[in-house]
Homo-oligomer: A and B are copies of this chain.
Amino acid sequence: MNGAEALVETMLASGVDVCFANPGTSEMHFVAALDTHPDMRCILCLFEGGVTGAADGYARMSGNVAGTLLHLGPGFANAWSNLHNARKGGSGIVNIVGDHAGYHLKHDAPLQSDLDGVAGSVSHWVGRATDSSMVAGLGADAIRAARSGQIATVILQADAAWSDSGSGPTRATDPAPRPRPDAPRIAAAARALGQPGAALLVSGPALYGDGAELAGRIAARTGCRLIAPFFAPRIAMGAGAVRFEQMFYPADLNAQFLADLTRIVLVGENPPVNFFAYPGLPSTPDPAGCAIDRLCFSDWDVPGTLAALAEAAGVDGTEDIARIARTDPVTPETATGALSPEGIGRALALALPEGAIVVNEAVTAGAGIWPAVNQAAAHDRINNTGGSIGQCLPNALGAAVACPDRPVFAVSGDGSAMYQLQCLWTAARERLDITVVIIANRGYQILHHELAAQGAPAPGRNARAMFDIEDPLLDWVALAAGHGVPGQKVTTEEGLADALATAARTQGPFLIEATL
Protein backbone atom coordinates (compact mmCIF):
# COMPACT_ATOMS: atom_id res chain seq x y z
CA MET A 1 0.00 0.00 0.00
CA ASN A 2 1.56 3.30 -1.04
CA GLY A 3 1.33 6.52 0.95
CA ALA A 4 -1.57 7.85 -1.09
CA GLU A 5 -3.60 4.69 -0.50
CA ALA A 6 -2.77 4.78 3.19
CA LEU A 7 -4.03 8.35 3.35
CA VAL A 8 -7.29 7.63 1.54
CA GLU A 9 -7.92 4.64 3.79
CA THR A 10 -7.07 6.73 6.84
CA MET A 11 -9.65 9.29 5.77
CA LEU A 12 -12.31 6.65 5.15
CA ALA A 13 -11.54 4.83 8.40
CA SER A 14 -11.93 8.15 10.20
CA GLY A 15 -15.29 8.98 8.64
CA VAL A 16 -14.04 11.50 6.07
CA ASP A 17 -15.79 10.29 2.94
CA VAL A 18 -16.37 13.45 0.90
CA CYS A 19 -13.52 15.15 -0.92
CA PHE A 20 -13.99 18.42 -2.78
CA ALA A 21 -11.22 18.52 -5.32
CA ASN A 22 -9.24 20.25 -7.99
CA PRO A 23 -6.20 18.05 -8.50
CA GLY A 24 -3.10 18.39 -10.65
CA THR A 25 -0.17 16.25 -11.65
CA SER A 26 1.50 16.22 -8.26
CA GLU A 27 -1.65 14.59 -6.85
CA MET A 28 -1.92 11.81 -9.45
CA HIS A 29 -1.14 8.97 -7.08
CA PHE A 30 -3.64 10.34 -4.61
CA VAL A 31 -6.15 10.49 -7.46
CA ALA A 32 -5.33 6.90 -8.36
CA ALA A 33 -5.90 5.92 -4.73
CA LEU A 34 -9.23 7.73 -4.67
CA ASP A 35 -10.09 5.90 -7.84
CA THR A 36 -9.71 2.52 -6.21
CA HIS A 37 -11.79 3.66 -3.22
CA PRO A 38 -15.20 4.55 -4.59
CA ASP A 39 -16.56 4.98 -1.05
CA MET A 40 -14.91 8.37 -1.16
CA ARG A 41 -17.19 10.82 -2.94
CA CYS A 42 -15.01 13.12 -5.08
CA ILE A 43 -16.60 16.37 -6.17
CA LEU A 44 -14.81 18.56 -8.69
CA CYS A 45 -14.91 22.35 -8.48
CA LEU A 46 -13.52 24.36 -11.37
CA PHE A 47 -11.71 26.80 -9.06
CA GLU A 48 -10.21 26.09 -5.66
CA GLY A 49 -12.19 28.75 -3.80
CA GLY A 50 -15.19 26.56 -4.51
CA VAL A 51 -13.39 23.53 -3.12
CA THR A 52 -12.73 24.97 0.32
CA GLY A 53 -15.95 26.98 0.53
CA ALA A 54 -17.85 23.77 -0.16
CA ALA A 55 -15.94 21.95 2.56
CA ASP A 56 -16.88 24.80 4.90
CA GLY A 57 -20.58 24.61 4.04
CA TYR A 58 -20.42 20.84 4.45
CA ALA A 59 -18.89 21.20 7.92
CA ARG A 60 -21.46 23.76 9.02
CA MET A 61 -24.42 21.59 8.07
CA SER A 62 -23.11 18.08 8.75
CA GLY A 63 -20.89 18.73 11.73
CA ASN A 64 -18.43 16.44 9.93
CA VAL A 65 -15.10 17.12 8.33
CA ALA A 66 -14.67 17.05 4.55
CA GLY A 67 -11.41 16.66 2.72
CA THR A 68 -10.13 18.92 0.01
CA LEU A 69 -7.60 18.11 -2.70
CA LEU A 70 -5.46 21.00 -3.93
CA HIS A 71 -2.55 21.38 -6.33
CA LEU A 72 0.68 22.81 -4.86
CA GLY A 73 1.11 26.41 -3.68
CA PRO A 74 -1.04 28.10 -6.31
CA GLY A 75 -3.94 25.70 -5.77
CA PHE A 76 -3.72 26.30 -2.04
CA ALA A 77 -3.55 30.06 -2.54
CA ASN A 78 -6.66 29.98 -4.73
CA ALA A 79 -8.38 28.17 -1.86
CA TRP A 80 -7.10 30.56 0.82
CA SER A 81 -9.89 33.12 1.09
CA ASN A 82 -12.59 30.57 1.75
CA LEU A 83 -10.31 28.83 4.24
CA HIS A 84 -10.16 32.21 5.94
CA ASN A 85 -13.95 32.32 6.07
CA ALA A 86 -14.09 28.74 7.35
CA ARG A 87 -11.51 29.54 10.01
CA LYS A 88 -13.51 32.54 11.20
CA GLY A 89 -16.61 30.36 11.29
CA GLY A 90 -14.94 27.56 13.23
CA SER A 91 -15.33 24.95 10.48
CA GLY A 92 -12.81 22.13 10.51
CA ILE A 93 -11.35 21.14 7.13
CA VAL A 94 -8.64 18.69 6.07
CA ASN A 95 -6.67 19.93 3.08
CA ILE A 96 -4.53 17.50 1.11
CA VAL A 97 -2.08 19.53 -0.97
CA GLY A 98 0.28 17.84 -3.34
CA ASP A 99 3.87 18.95 -3.64
CA HIS A 100 6.81 17.88 -5.73
CA ALA A 101 8.81 14.84 -4.75
CA GLY A 102 11.34 15.80 -2.08
CA TYR A 103 14.36 15.28 -4.30
CA HIS A 104 12.78 17.53 -6.95
CA LEU A 105 12.36 20.53 -4.65
CA LYS A 106 15.92 21.80 -5.01
CA HIS A 107 15.39 22.44 -8.73
CA ASP A 108 12.86 25.27 -8.38
CA ALA A 109 10.52 23.89 -11.05
CA PRO A 110 7.88 26.32 -12.34
CA LEU A 111 5.17 25.26 -9.88
CA GLN A 112 7.47 25.44 -6.88
CA SER A 113 6.69 28.15 -4.38
CA ASP A 114 6.63 28.83 -0.66
CA LEU A 115 3.87 26.30 -0.08
CA ASP A 116 4.67 25.96 3.61
CA GLY A 117 4.46 29.74 3.97
CA VAL A 118 1.14 30.18 2.25
CA ALA A 119 -0.33 27.12 3.97
CA GLY A 120 0.85 28.32 7.36
CA SER A 121 -0.67 31.75 6.89
CA VAL A 122 -4.24 30.43 7.16
CA SER A 123 -4.00 26.90 8.61
CA HIS A 124 -4.03 26.12 12.32
CA TRP A 125 -2.11 22.92 11.64
CA VAL A 126 0.33 22.06 8.83
CA GLY A 127 2.20 18.80 8.34
CA ARG A 128 4.54 17.90 5.50
CA ALA A 129 4.75 14.27 4.48
CA THR A 130 8.37 13.90 3.45
CA ASP A 131 8.25 10.13 3.64
CA SER A 132 5.57 7.60 2.82
CA SER A 133 5.69 6.04 6.26
CA MET A 134 4.51 9.34 7.78
CA VAL A 135 1.47 9.81 5.60
CA ALA A 136 -1.19 7.87 7.47
CA GLY A 137 -0.16 9.27 10.83
CA LEU A 138 -0.12 12.83 9.56
CA GLY A 139 -3.51 12.31 7.95
CA ALA A 140 -4.96 11.04 11.21
CA ASP A 141 -3.48 13.98 13.12
CA ALA A 142 -4.92 16.40 10.57
CA ILE A 143 -8.37 14.86 10.83
CA ARG A 144 -8.16 15.07 14.61
CA ALA A 145 -7.25 18.77 14.38
CA ALA A 146 -10.04 19.43 11.89
CA ARG A 147 -12.54 17.73 14.20
CA SER A 148 -11.70 20.31 16.80
CA GLY A 149 -12.63 23.06 14.34
CA GLN A 150 -9.24 23.72 12.82
CA ILE A 151 -7.94 24.22 9.30
CA ALA A 152 -5.53 21.30 8.94
CA THR A 153 -3.26 20.98 5.92
CA VAL A 154 -1.30 17.91 4.88
CA ILE A 155 1.41 18.68 2.33
CA LEU A 156 1.79 15.41 0.48
CA GLN A 157 5.04 15.15 -1.42
CA ALA A 158 4.66 13.10 -4.56
CA ASP A 159 7.32 10.60 -3.50
CA ALA A 160 5.61 10.12 -0.15
CA ALA A 161 2.40 9.41 -2.08
CA TRP A 162 3.84 6.91 -4.52
CA SER A 163 6.27 4.99 -2.29
CA ASP A 164 5.29 2.01 -0.18
CA SER A 165 3.95 3.15 3.16
CA GLY A 166 5.25 0.12 5.00
CA SER A 167 2.00 -0.04 6.95
CA GLY A 168 -1.70 0.42 6.65
CA PRO A 169 -4.03 3.28 7.43
CA THR A 170 -4.44 4.90 10.82
CA ARG A 171 -7.76 5.77 12.37
CA ALA A 172 -7.92 9.32 13.70
CA THR A 173 -8.40 9.46 17.45
CA ASP A 174 -10.96 11.73 19.01
CA PRO A 175 -9.80 15.28 19.67
CA ALA A 176 -8.94 16.24 23.22
CA PRO A 177 -11.98 17.35 25.21
CA ARG A 178 -12.58 21.03 24.69
CA PRO A 179 -11.95 23.23 27.73
CA ARG A 180 -14.79 24.57 29.81
CA PRO A 181 -14.71 27.42 32.33
CA ASP A 182 -14.46 26.38 35.97
CA ALA A 183 -17.39 26.43 38.34
CA PRO A 184 -16.67 29.78 40.04
CA ARG A 185 -16.52 31.52 36.67
CA ILE A 186 -19.74 29.84 35.58
CA ALA A 187 -21.42 30.88 38.79
CA ALA A 188 -20.21 34.46 38.43
CA ALA A 189 -21.46 34.62 34.87
CA ALA A 190 -24.84 33.22 35.88
CA ARG A 191 -25.15 35.91 38.55
CA ALA A 192 -24.06 38.62 36.10
CA LEU A 193 -26.73 37.60 33.62
CA GLY A 194 -29.37 38.24 36.26
CA GLN A 195 -28.27 41.87 36.65
CA PRO A 196 -29.85 44.79 34.80
CA GLY A 197 -28.26 45.57 31.45
CA ALA A 198 -26.85 42.07 30.96
CA ALA A 199 -26.58 40.23 27.66
CA LEU A 200 -25.54 36.73 26.67
CA LEU A 201 -23.75 36.93 23.31
CA VAL A 202 -23.27 33.51 21.78
CA SER A 203 -22.11 31.88 18.58
CA GLY A 204 -21.13 28.51 17.14
CA PRO A 205 -23.30 25.61 18.31
CA ALA A 206 -25.19 27.96 20.64
CA LEU A 207 -27.12 29.27 17.63
CA TYR A 208 -29.00 26.14 16.58
CA GLY A 209 -30.31 22.87 17.95
CA ASP A 210 -29.74 21.97 21.60
CA GLY A 211 -27.29 24.81 22.06
CA ALA A 212 -29.86 27.40 21.07
CA GLU A 213 -32.44 25.78 23.34
CA LEU A 214 -30.04 26.02 26.28
CA ALA A 215 -29.25 29.64 25.50
CA GLY A 216 -32.97 30.38 25.29
CA ARG A 217 -33.61 28.83 28.68
CA ILE A 218 -30.79 30.82 30.28
CA ALA A 219 -32.24 34.03 28.88
CA ALA A 220 -35.72 33.05 30.01
CA ARG A 221 -34.51 32.35 33.54
CA THR A 222 -32.11 35.27 34.00
CA GLY A 223 -33.96 37.92 32.01
CA CYS A 224 -30.82 38.83 30.06
CA ARG A 225 -30.82 39.87 26.45
CA LEU A 226 -29.86 37.02 24.10
CA ILE A 227 -27.74 38.22 21.20
CA ALA A 228 -26.33 36.58 18.09
CA PRO A 229 -23.51 38.05 16.01
CA PHE A 230 -24.20 39.54 12.60
CA PHE A 231 -21.82 36.98 11.06
CA ALA A 232 -23.43 33.92 12.58
CA PRO A 233 -21.84 30.85 10.95
CA ARG A 234 -25.09 28.91 11.21
CA ILE A 235 -28.24 29.97 12.99
CA ALA A 236 -31.70 28.43 13.27
CA MET A 237 -34.28 30.96 12.07
CA GLY A 238 -37.95 31.18 11.30
CA ALA A 239 -41.08 29.86 12.98
CA GLY A 240 -40.42 28.43 16.42
CA ALA A 241 -36.71 29.15 16.48
CA VAL A 242 -35.19 30.47 19.68
CA ARG A 243 -35.31 34.24 19.26
CA PHE A 244 -31.95 35.98 19.15
CA GLU A 245 -31.49 39.68 18.78
CA GLN A 246 -29.01 39.91 15.94
CA MET A 247 -26.24 42.47 15.67
CA PHE A 248 -25.80 44.76 12.69
CA TYR A 249 -23.08 45.43 10.16
CA PRO A 250 -22.85 49.25 10.47
CA ALA A 251 -20.84 50.45 13.44
CA ASP A 252 -23.34 53.14 14.41
CA LEU A 253 -26.28 50.75 14.52
CA ASN A 254 -24.34 48.34 16.70
CA ALA A 255 -23.38 51.13 19.08
CA GLN A 256 -27.06 52.05 19.47
CA PHE A 257 -28.04 48.41 19.77
CA LEU A 258 -25.62 47.78 22.65
CA ALA A 259 -25.90 51.21 24.27
CA ASP A 260 -27.87 50.05 27.33
CA LEU A 261 -25.64 47.14 28.25
CA THR A 262 -23.62 47.02 31.45
CA ARG A 263 -22.20 43.52 31.03
CA ILE A 264 -21.81 41.00 28.22
CA VAL A 265 -21.14 37.32 28.78
CA LEU A 266 -19.55 35.66 25.76
CA VAL A 267 -20.04 31.99 24.94
CA GLY A 268 -18.45 30.80 21.72
CA GLU A 269 -17.90 34.32 20.48
CA ASN A 270 -15.27 37.07 20.55
CA PRO A 271 -15.95 40.54 21.96
CA PRO A 272 -17.90 42.76 19.57
CA VAL A 273 -15.76 44.68 17.10
CA ASN A 274 -16.59 46.98 14.25
CA PHE A 275 -15.99 45.41 10.88
CA PHE A 276 -13.64 48.25 9.95
CA ALA A 277 -12.10 51.21 11.73
CA TYR A 278 -13.36 54.68 10.87
CA PRO A 279 -11.48 57.90 11.52
CA GLY A 280 -12.29 59.30 14.95
CA LEU A 281 -14.57 56.43 15.97
CA PRO A 282 -13.83 53.67 18.47
CA SER A 283 -13.01 50.16 17.24
CA THR A 284 -15.70 48.48 19.29
CA PRO A 285 -19.43 49.13 19.59
CA ASP A 286 -19.94 48.26 23.26
CA PRO A 287 -20.61 51.21 25.55
CA ALA A 288 -17.91 52.62 27.83
CA GLY A 289 -17.75 50.76 31.11
CA CYS A 290 -19.54 47.67 29.84
CA ALA A 291 -17.95 44.61 31.46
CA ILE A 292 -17.07 41.86 29.00
CA ASP A 293 -16.70 38.33 30.29
CA ARG A 294 -14.99 36.02 27.80
CA LEU A 295 -16.50 33.01 29.52
CA CYS A 296 -16.07 30.43 26.77
CA PHE A 297 -13.86 30.88 23.72
CA SER A 298 -15.09 29.77 20.33
CA ASP A 299 -12.91 26.65 20.36
CA TRP A 300 -13.96 25.66 23.87
CA ASP A 301 -16.89 23.44 24.85
CA VAL A 302 -19.84 25.67 24.01
CA PRO A 303 -22.68 23.19 24.67
CA GLY A 304 -21.09 22.05 27.93
CA THR A 305 -20.60 25.62 29.06
CA LEU A 306 -24.21 26.46 28.28
CA ALA A 307 -25.43 23.41 30.19
CA ALA A 308 -23.33 24.39 33.22
CA LEU A 309 -24.47 28.00 32.93
CA ALA A 310 -28.11 26.91 32.77
CA GLU A 311 -27.66 24.81 35.86
CA ALA A 312 -25.90 27.62 37.73
CA ALA A 313 -28.63 30.03 36.73
CA GLY A 314 -31.22 27.69 38.17
CA VAL A 315 -32.97 26.94 34.91
CA ASP A 316 -36.09 24.94 35.46
CA GLY A 317 -36.42 22.20 32.85
CA THR A 318 -40.14 22.59 32.39
CA GLU A 319 -41.04 26.12 33.28
CA ASP A 320 -38.19 27.82 31.43
CA ILE A 321 -38.57 25.74 28.28
CA ALA A 322 -42.11 27.03 28.04
CA ARG A 323 -40.84 30.58 28.55
CA ILE A 324 -38.20 30.55 25.80
CA ALA A 325 -38.77 33.49 23.49
CA ARG A 326 -39.40 32.06 20.03
CA THR A 327 -39.96 33.51 16.61
CA ASP A 328 -43.59 33.90 15.64
CA PRO A 329 -44.23 33.10 12.02
CA VAL A 330 -45.57 35.97 9.99
CA THR A 331 -46.86 35.45 6.48
CA PRO A 332 -46.06 38.59 4.53
CA GLU A 333 -48.69 40.32 2.44
CA THR A 334 -48.03 39.71 -1.21
CA ALA A 335 -47.26 42.76 -3.26
CA THR A 336 -46.69 43.50 -6.92
CA GLY A 337 -44.54 45.84 -8.90
CA ALA A 338 -40.85 46.59 -9.16
CA LEU A 339 -38.55 44.58 -6.96
CA SER A 340 -37.15 46.04 -3.79
CA PRO A 341 -35.00 44.31 -1.16
CA GLU A 342 -38.12 44.11 1.00
CA GLY A 343 -40.03 42.58 -1.90
CA ILE A 344 -37.32 39.98 -2.39
CA GLY A 345 -37.65 39.21 1.31
CA ARG A 346 -41.44 38.80 1.03
CA ALA A 347 -41.22 36.52 -1.98
CA LEU A 348 -38.49 34.42 -0.38
CA ALA A 349 -40.41 34.19 2.89
CA LEU A 350 -43.50 32.94 1.07
CA ALA A 351 -41.56 30.41 -0.97
CA LEU A 352 -39.33 29.01 1.75
CA PRO A 353 -40.21 25.43 2.69
CA GLU A 354 -39.71 24.24 6.26
CA GLY A 355 -36.24 22.82 6.72
CA ALA A 356 -34.62 24.86 4.01
CA ILE A 357 -31.02 26.05 4.25
CA VAL A 358 -30.52 29.69 3.34
CA VAL A 359 -27.01 30.94 2.55
CA ASN A 360 -26.69 34.69 2.90
CA GLU A 361 -24.25 36.95 1.11
CA ALA A 362 -26.67 39.71 0.23
CA VAL A 363 -24.43 42.43 1.73
CA THR A 364 -26.17 45.80 1.20
CA ALA A 365 -29.61 44.48 0.23
CA GLY A 366 -29.70 42.16 3.24
CA ALA A 367 -31.10 44.77 5.62
CA GLY A 368 -34.21 44.89 3.46
CA ILE A 369 -34.43 41.20 2.63
CA TRP A 370 -33.99 39.36 5.92
CA PRO A 371 -36.69 40.78 8.24
CA ALA A 372 -39.45 38.98 6.33
CA VAL A 373 -37.44 35.77 5.89
CA ASN A 374 -36.58 35.73 9.59
CA GLN A 375 -40.26 35.07 10.27
CA ALA A 376 -40.80 32.52 7.53
CA ALA A 377 -40.85 28.74 7.99
CA ALA A 378 -38.17 27.21 10.18
CA HIS A 379 -34.84 27.06 8.41
CA ASP A 380 -31.10 27.24 8.95
CA ARG A 381 -29.24 30.36 7.89
CA ILE A 382 -25.55 30.37 6.92
CA ASN A 383 -23.71 33.69 6.81
CA ASN A 384 -20.38 34.96 5.56
CA THR A 385 -18.05 34.74 8.55
CA GLY A 386 -14.73 36.20 7.46
CA GLY A 387 -15.82 39.05 5.25
CA SER A 388 -14.14 37.57 2.20
CA ILE A 389 -16.75 37.70 -0.53
CA GLY A 390 -17.42 34.67 -2.65
CA GLN A 391 -18.49 32.39 0.18
CA CYS A 392 -22.16 31.98 -0.69
CA LEU A 393 -22.14 29.71 -3.72
CA PRO A 394 -19.40 27.43 -2.37
CA ASN A 395 -21.10 27.16 1.03
CA ALA A 396 -24.35 26.32 -0.74
CA LEU A 397 -22.62 23.47 -2.60
CA GLY A 398 -21.32 21.97 0.60
CA ALA A 399 -24.60 22.42 2.46
CA ALA A 400 -26.47 20.68 -0.35
CA VAL A 401 -24.02 17.76 -0.33
CA ALA A 402 -24.34 17.50 3.46
CA CYS A 403 -28.14 17.67 3.43
CA PRO A 404 -29.42 16.19 0.17
CA ASP A 405 -33.03 16.20 1.38
CA ARG A 406 -33.12 19.89 2.27
CA PRO A 407 -33.58 22.57 -0.38
CA VAL A 408 -30.82 25.18 -0.36
CA PHE A 409 -31.30 28.85 -1.20
CA ALA A 410 -28.17 30.85 -2.02
CA VAL A 411 -28.88 34.57 -1.85
CA SER A 412 -25.95 36.65 -3.04
CA GLY A 413 -25.14 40.10 -4.31
CA ASP A 414 -23.88 40.13 -7.88
CA GLY A 415 -20.41 41.41 -7.03
CA SER A 416 -19.94 38.66 -4.45
CA ALA A 417 -21.37 35.89 -6.62
CA MET A 418 -18.94 36.70 -9.43
CA TYR A 419 -16.07 35.67 -7.15
CA GLN A 420 -16.80 31.96 -7.30
CA LEU A 421 -19.38 31.68 -10.07
CA GLN A 422 -17.71 28.48 -11.31
CA CYS A 423 -19.58 26.74 -8.47
CA LEU A 424 -22.70 26.85 -10.64
CA TRP A 425 -21.18 24.11 -12.78
CA THR A 426 -20.59 21.82 -9.80
CA ALA A 427 -24.17 22.37 -8.68
CA ALA A 428 -25.36 21.23 -12.10
CA ARG A 429 -22.96 18.29 -12.27
CA GLU A 430 -23.98 17.00 -8.85
CA ARG A 431 -27.70 17.73 -9.43
CA LEU A 432 -27.80 19.73 -6.19
CA ASP A 433 -31.11 21.27 -5.17
CA ILE A 434 -29.90 24.86 -4.95
CA THR A 435 -31.96 27.92 -5.84
CA VAL A 436 -29.53 30.75 -6.48
CA VAL A 437 -30.98 34.24 -6.10
CA ILE A 438 -28.63 36.89 -7.44
CA ILE A 439 -29.40 40.35 -6.13
CA ALA A 440 -28.36 42.33 -9.19
CA ASN A 441 -27.64 45.82 -7.94
CA ARG A 442 -24.87 46.22 -10.48
CA GLY A 443 -21.87 46.92 -8.37
CA TYR A 444 -20.14 46.85 -5.04
CA GLN A 445 -22.87 49.03 -3.55
CA ILE A 446 -21.44 48.64 -0.10
CA LEU A 447 -18.37 50.58 -1.22
CA HIS A 448 -20.47 53.62 -2.03
CA HIS A 449 -21.68 53.52 1.59
CA GLU A 450 -18.19 52.92 2.91
CA LEU A 451 -16.62 55.72 0.91
CA ALA A 452 -19.17 58.09 2.42
CA ALA A 453 -18.69 56.56 5.90
CA GLN A 454 -14.95 57.26 5.68
CA GLY A 455 -15.72 60.91 5.07
CA ALA A 456 -14.49 60.85 1.49
CA PRO A 457 -16.10 63.10 -1.13
CA ALA A 458 -18.70 61.89 -3.60
CA PRO A 459 -17.33 59.27 -5.99
CA GLY A 460 -15.75 60.55 -9.17
CA ARG A 461 -14.62 58.81 -12.31
CA ASN A 462 -12.03 56.50 -10.82
CA ALA A 463 -14.16 55.53 -7.82
CA ARG A 464 -17.10 54.73 -10.04
CA ALA A 465 -14.79 52.77 -12.32
CA MET A 466 -13.98 50.56 -9.34
CA PHE A 467 -17.41 50.33 -7.68
CA ASP A 468 -19.93 49.95 -10.50
CA ILE A 469 -20.58 46.84 -12.56
CA GLU A 470 -22.97 48.27 -15.10
CA ASP A 471 -20.89 48.71 -18.24
CA PRO A 472 -21.46 46.12 -19.49
CA LEU A 473 -24.28 44.67 -17.45
CA LEU A 474 -23.74 41.10 -16.33
CA ASP A 475 -26.35 38.72 -17.72
CA TRP A 476 -26.75 36.16 -14.98
CA VAL A 477 -29.16 33.96 -16.90
CA ALA A 478 -26.53 33.60 -19.62
CA LEU A 479 -23.80 32.98 -17.04
CA ALA A 480 -25.93 30.25 -15.49
CA ALA A 481 -26.70 28.69 -18.88
CA GLY A 482 -22.99 28.68 -19.65
CA HIS A 483 -22.47 26.52 -16.56
CA GLY A 484 -25.38 24.23 -17.40
CA VAL A 485 -27.82 25.79 -14.94
CA PRO A 486 -31.29 26.95 -16.04
CA GLY A 487 -32.30 30.42 -14.96
CA GLN A 488 -34.70 33.31 -15.19
CA LYS A 489 -34.40 37.07 -14.80
CA VAL A 490 -37.08 38.89 -12.83
CA THR A 491 -37.76 42.55 -12.24
CA THR A 492 -41.04 42.40 -10.30
CA GLU A 493 -42.13 40.83 -7.05
CA GLU A 494 -44.73 38.65 -8.76
CA GLY A 495 -42.10 37.60 -11.28
CA LEU A 496 -39.81 36.52 -8.46
CA ALA A 497 -42.63 34.53 -6.87
CA ASP A 498 -43.22 32.75 -10.19
CA ALA A 499 -39.54 32.07 -10.67
CA LEU A 500 -39.23 30.66 -7.15
CA ALA A 501 -42.11 28.32 -7.96
CA THR A 502 -40.34 27.25 -11.14
CA ALA A 503 -37.14 26.67 -9.19
CA ALA A 504 -39.02 24.49 -6.70
CA ARG A 505 -40.33 22.33 -9.55
CA THR A 506 -36.90 22.07 -11.20
CA GLN A 507 -34.60 19.15 -10.47
CA GLY A 508 -31.12 20.37 -9.64
CA PRO A 509 -30.01 23.99 -9.47
CA PHE A 510 -31.92 27.00 -10.77
CA LEU A 511 -30.71 30.61 -10.87
CA ILE A 512 -32.88 33.70 -10.52
CA GLU A 513 -31.47 37.11 -11.38
CA ALA A 514 -33.46 39.53 -9.24
CA THR A 515 -32.82 43.00 -10.62
CA LEU A 516 -33.08 45.98 -8.32
Contacts and interface: CB of A to CB of B under 8 A. Distances in A.
Interface of A: 21-26, 28-29, 31-32, 34-38, 40, 42-44, 46-47, 49, 69, 73-75, 77-78, 80-81, 84-85, 88, 100-101, 103-104, 107-111, 113-114, 117-118, 120-122, 158-159, 162, 231, 270-271, 273-277, 279, 283-284, 385-388, 390, 415, 418-419, 421-422, 425, 428-429, 444, 446-447, 450-451, 453-454, 456-457, 459-463, 465-466, 469, 471-484
Contacts of A40: 462
User: What's the number of copies of this chain in the assembled complex?
Assistant: 2
Nearest to A44: B466
Contacts of A113: 84, 121-122, 386
A80 B88 contact: no
Contacts of A44: 465-466, 469
B35 A459 contact: yes
A425 to B, nearest CB: 7
Contact of A450 (B25, B110, B477): B25
B472 A42 contact: no
Contacts of A422: 418, 421
Contacts of A84: 73-74, 77, 113
B386 A32 contact: no
A429 B80 contact: no
Nearest to A231: B110
B38 A425 contact: no
Q: Which 3 A-B pairs have the closest CB atoms?
A: A472-B484, A117-B121, A479-B482
Nearest to A449: B25
Nearest to A158: B277
Contact of A158 (B42, B118, B276, B466): B276
B429 A46 contact: no
27 contacts: A25-B446, A28-B453, A28-B454, A34-B462, A42-B466, A44-B469, A46-B419, A73-B121, A74-B81, A78-B80, A100-B276, A104-B273, A104-B283, A108-B270, A111-B275, A111-B386, A114-B122, A118-B122, A158-B276, A158-B277, A425-B472, A429-B471, A473-B484, A474-B482, A478-B478, A478-B479, A479-B482
